[in-house]
Amino acid sequence: MAEHEPRPLIGITGPRHGALMPRGLVALGIWLAGGHPRQLYPGDAPEKLERLAGLVVTGGHDVDPVLYAAAPEVTPKIDTERDRFEAAAIDRMLERRRPLLGICRGAQLLNVRRGGSLFQELRSRRKHTSNRWTIFPLKTLLLERDSALHARIGCDRCRINSLHNQGIDRLGEGLRIAGRDLDGIVQAVEDPTARYVLGVQWHPEFLLYLSRQRRLFQGLIAAAHDPS
């Protein structure tokens, strides 16, 4: 970022209460990449979305299966107010063609807003990967070589963390799969027609000490500087 160039305003969505550490680390990732982070909460005025140059939708509660016309298969932890707010935020960013990064739940909700669906549990689908949640990069990501994500972070096989119990099933319209894990479970989706619309199942905010994970935020800020 040029020294005189203003920092683009990047919204960070999440629950109304809690999640202080991941929210704070996402804000740090945005700031290190040259952006100005702004925390947003369910119930905030829609006008706040109009001022944003980009958006990060963070992880957390399960996406309500009613949003993809499915019956509950497990007992989900749902935050209806957050679902409503973040669904509107994603829709508005896509309408305005502004850059968007969905993290974990954020990637799932992005997929749902594009008409996709989710696996409501992953334990039965894992054969080669652990069900253990970890903030450390102990799981393997296999990237599609022709994806924008591969070009951005520059590896065929990367190490990532994992804190999710749901995942992408039917792919949303206009999205493509950019990466999977060793069980073939989708770990990243992107819109190849957009300058930057990306959803990742892992948590890059806990991996800011790795340069390739910081590039996810750098790509968001670079796209936010480009109004086209």
Task: Specify whether 47 is catalytic.
Answer: no
- Which of these is catalytic: 86, 104, 164, 190? 104
* Contact indicator for 189, 168 with CB cutoff of 8 Å: yes
Q: Between the CA of residue 83 and those of 87, 110, 113, 160, 200, what are the distances in Å? A: 6, 11, 11, 26, 18
User: Tell me, what amino acid is at 113?
Assistant: R
Q: Which residues, in sequence order, are CB contacts of 18 under 8 Å at separation 6+?
A: none
104 is known as an active-site residue: yes
The C-alpha atoms of residue 185 and residue 167 are separated, in whole angstroms, by 7
- Per the annotation, the verdict on 4 as an active-site residue is no
| Beta-strand runs (E) in 58-214 | 100-103, 118-119, 134-143, 157-162, 167-168, 176-180, 186-190, 197-200
Contact call for residues 172 and 110 (beta carbons, < 8 A): yes
Contact 198, 221 (CB under 8 A): no
DSSP 62: B
- Of 150, 164, 190, 205, the catalytic one is 205
Query: Active-site positions?
Result: 104, 203, 205
